[in-house]
Amino acid sequence: MIVNLVVMGGMGILYLMMNGFIGTWTEEKPLPGVLTILLLVLGFLILSFFTHLQQYKATYGLVYREVKNVRISLAERLRKLPLGYFGKRDLADLTETIMGDVNRDAYSGSGRQDRCS
């Protein structure tokens, strides 16, 4: 939501710049100062970068941290199983099933988080 406000702020800066330029044609006002325009654009770019970075970390950092915790807990649970369990199972199938489920959860979680922010 904050990212959307920053983008709207950028449109506001663009509107003010265009209003200043059009004012020079219609009302014979002086051109807006180049330094003012550069400072506004630079401020917008810095603010936009940090808000998008924060949104990225909140979206994907949260999901992948949770995936890491799930994988660690699965590894701990598998470590506690007796070795005879693995002799009866196909290890490739077991690995594919577990990792596929976790990857599927990670993929769906990252998309869901992105749409909610």
Q: Which amino acid is at 33?
A: G
pTM: 0.55
pLDDT (0 to 100) of residue 115? 43
Task: Write down the pLDDT at residue 107.
Answer: 66
Whole-number pLDDT of residue 116: 46
Domain that holds residue 11: 2-116
Cα–Cα distance measured from residue 114 to residue 59, given in angstroms and rounded to the nearest whole number: 6
Q: Tens of pLDDT along the chain (117 residues)?
A: 777 888 888 888 888 888 888 888 888 888 778 888 888 889 889 988 999 898 888 877 777 888 888 888 888 888 888 888 777 778 787 777 777 777 776 666 555 444 444
Give how many domains the chain has, as a whole number: 1
Q: Are 109 and 66 in contact (CB under 8 A)?
A: yes
pLDDT of residue 114: 43
Phi, psi of 33 (to 5 degrees): -65, 135
Residue-level pLDDT at 108: 66
- CA–CA distance, 74 with 98 (Å, rounded to integer): 8
